[in-house]
Structure 1
Amino acid sequence: MVIEGNIGAGKTTLAQMISEKYKTKLVLEQFADNPFLPKFYENQEQYSFPLEMAFLAERYNQLNRELSHLDLFSPFTISDYYFMKSLIFAQNTLQPDEYNLYRQFFTIIYEKMPKPDLYVYLHKDVDLLLKNIAERGRIYEAFITKEYLEKISQGYFGYFRQQTDFPILIIDTNGIDFVGRPADFERLTNTIFNNQFNKGVTRVILD
């Protein structure tokens, strides 16, 4: 299972909470290890290509390493990102010639990656994303703009419109607080685990 969302949507927190509740194997993106990330937010034009290439390599290596070894004592594996994230972010940060080169590398690798049984996307309005980003206080994220978050959101939804290989559950979480209110967390997990979803997109609003 994959839990994703825009920057500040709470995907990592939710993945951790679900993993703890269901005693699953947890795979978290190691974004903090990317040496180009702080530089990128200060100078996107100069550092976008090395940033995205570094993410591509790290995500492939991590997923290949983690998913190749099954945990017999875990009911399933949950991750706070899917490999397609690489292409969505690159599309919004790279120049056209850089993106065309990047996509060639991505396509070669993507064909070898497993697909999730269920892809959950946490949708949250951009103003709430900015509020969450400010509250967690990562210095390099202070450069994130509303316009950048809107482009990332558009990239995700553009991808969803084309995807029919596996179930995608889009959950509008603007009206809930699954961290601060246990009842909201239960409603969220019940929505995810107590329903069957067909391939393609299903949208749910929790408020």
Structure 2
Amino acid sequence: MSQPKKAYISLGSNQGDKFKNLQNAIDCIHEQVGNIKIISKVYKTPAFGFEGEAFYNTCLILETEFKASKLLKILLDIEKQLGRVRSKKEGYESRIIDLDIIFYADEVIDTKSLQIPHPEMHKRKFVLQPLHNITSQMKHPVLGKEVSVLLEACEDTSVLEPVNIWLKNPSKQYDFSKYNFIAIEGNIGAGKTSLTNKMAHDFNAKLILERFADNPFLPKFYKEPKRYAFTLEMSFLADRYQQISDDLSQLDLFKDFIVSDYDVFKSLIFSKITLPEDEFKLYRKLFYQVYKDIAKPDLYVYLYQNTERLQANIKKRGRNYEKDIENDYLDKINSGYLEFLKEQTELNIKIIDISNKDFVKNRADYLWLLDRICE
């Protein structure tokens, strides 16, 4: 999963319901491109370079995993979706919606189809003023000057009038403020770590990831499960306790909540499958002694995927020690989780079937999943 980059987009409209056109474009960008961080004020500005109706202009900052060329293609598609028909004649003209990439992180791109930073931005007050609202200290990577300096030096004499109506940021509709601690759980290959990473990044959460990769007994267990099952489960018991107690006790004032890709009760679920009955009874006694004072999550999300999809995901990520995991083992884990969750009366649990979803590659699936979590 690639790291998101910040893109700075200018939006304008001077046809029809201009404010609605801007909002529709913002909604499409949220649905198709990425997480919108901030939207500037809207300004009423005179048409630039031609005679026509006044424009409504704004700027926004978003985070996207798309490369700049792909981002441009999607923005042009959104313009078409909203009814814009581009004329082949040269010069400026009225348009129902206009979307331009002003900056893409601090990159400089100069191709036939795409120039970043936008080559005319420093000459246009209708770009610089809303951009100044949201990122006055952003430095132009070619001119080497901050947006505030470019605005002050701009020779455009257009008079901009602030519009006292704010556009809505659809990325703010997902409210996790009522939770202090969310646990994302699932079978091997269900995507719990991918979702946890995305949620932590998009919603300013403290991230807790299970340190399974550091466990030296895990590869040995997959080769000789009977020999190493108890050793593996005991090592996980100790490590999970150490990690979760440390992470939950360390207050982070700059984060809104905690999101983890595991819950400590997974130790009981896996050990019940991997251990003989007598060893499991001993293990369970130790578990409750160790975890009796550990905080439970305010929300427990179980990502269910069928075995076929789990095997495809396991194969795709290519961990050598997982290559021989059998369907029967995955079936038992799914059954173990579902049986465990049925017995829980004190946990706030959401079981979400994502067998036909790909929230890593498909943003629509990711937003669908967020909707299910927030319901």
One fold, TM greater than 0.5? yes
Equivalence for 1:199: none
Equivalence for 1:200: none
Residue-pair matches, total? 194
1:133 equivalent in alignment to 2:320: no
TM-superposed CA distance for 1:166, in Å, is 1.9
Contiguous gaps of at least 5 residues in structure 2: 1-181
TM-superposed CA distance for 1:143, in Å, is 2.0
TM-score, normalised to structure 1, is 0.92
Letter in 2 for 1:49: F
TM-score, normalised to structure 2, is 0.51
Q: Distance in 1 between matches of 2:323 and 2:356?
A: 25
What CA RMSD, in Å, does the superposition of the two structures yield over aligned residues?
0.8
Equivalence for 1:113: 294
Equivalence for 2:268: 87
Q: Distance in 2 between matches of 1:24 and 1:93?
A: 33
TM-superposed CA distance for 1:175, in Å, is 1.7
Q: Percent same amino acid at aligned positions?
A: 50
Q: Contact 2:209 / 2:260 at 8 angstroms: preserved in 1?
A: yes
Equivalence for 2:221: 40
Contiguous gaps of at least 5 residues in structure 1: 196-207
Q: Distance in 2 between matches of 1:56 and 1:110?
A: 9
- The higher relative CO (CA closer than 8 Å, separation ≥ 6) is in 1
Which of 328, 331, 342 is the aligned partner of 1:147? Answer: 328
TM-superposed CA distance for 1:122, in Å, is 0.4
- Within a 5 Å distance, the mapping from 1:1-207 to structure 2 comes to 1-193=182-374, 195=375
Q: Distance in 1 between matches of 2:373 and 2:334?
A: 21
SS at match of 2:355: coil
- 4+ residue runs of structure 1 moved beyond 4 angstroms? none
Greater helix share, 1 or 2?
Answer: 1
Greater strand share, 1 or 2?
Answer: 2
